[in-house]
Amino acid sequence: MTDEPINVLVLCTGNSARSVLAECLINDLGGGKWKAHSAGSRPTGNVNPLSIEILREKGHSVDGLRSKSWDEFALPGAPQMDLVITVCDNAAGEVCPIWPGHPSKLHIGFPDPAVAEGSKETQLAAFRGVYAMIEAKVRKLIEVGPQRAQEI
């Protein structure tokens, strides 16, 4: 058994909402045994402010969160991933870089809360709903482990 954490890369197209929420949840719920990163195929360059608001509301640290390209994780010296998770259908259908170590892959699609329209409270409700969906899946993932990730 190794003391190294399970490295997870969570991918979405823009890396501004769903993938960032999942990154925080995996890191916080993983108890140091999981280390998550997030990235996008076409990152927006900014984490959605409502993602930040929901994460703070739920007690997560948002220090160091940023929207970044998945290319960072295909470079020499990047952390070797054990599991790559796509959280949006667009990213799941894209041709991904070749990840060092050839990690397992998993797709768990979630609705995009960033497209919610209406009042700020309506938009926050969309983010809260997606956060809850991601939290449930992350809890299950941590329970079953990366070898059984396809079961969640």
Identify the structural domains of the chain with CATH numbers, from first to last: 6-151 (3.40.50.2300)
User: What is the Cα–Cα distance from 24 to 20, expressed in whole angstroms?
Assistant: 6
Residue 85: per-residue pLDDT:
94
Residue 46: per-residue pLDDT:
95
pTM score, whole prediction = 0.92
Give bridge partners of residue 62 from the DSSP assignment.
none
Of 96, 124, 125, 152, the active-site residue reads 96
DSSP string, 55-98: HHHTT---TT----BGGGGGSTTSPPPSEEEE-SHHHHHS-PPP
Question: Which residues in the chain land under pLDDT 70?
Answer: 1-2, 90-100
Residue 149: per-residue pLDDT:
84
Residue 90: per-residue pLDDT:
65
Of 6, 10, 11, 12, the active-site residue reads 12
Residue 146: per-residue pLDDT:
84
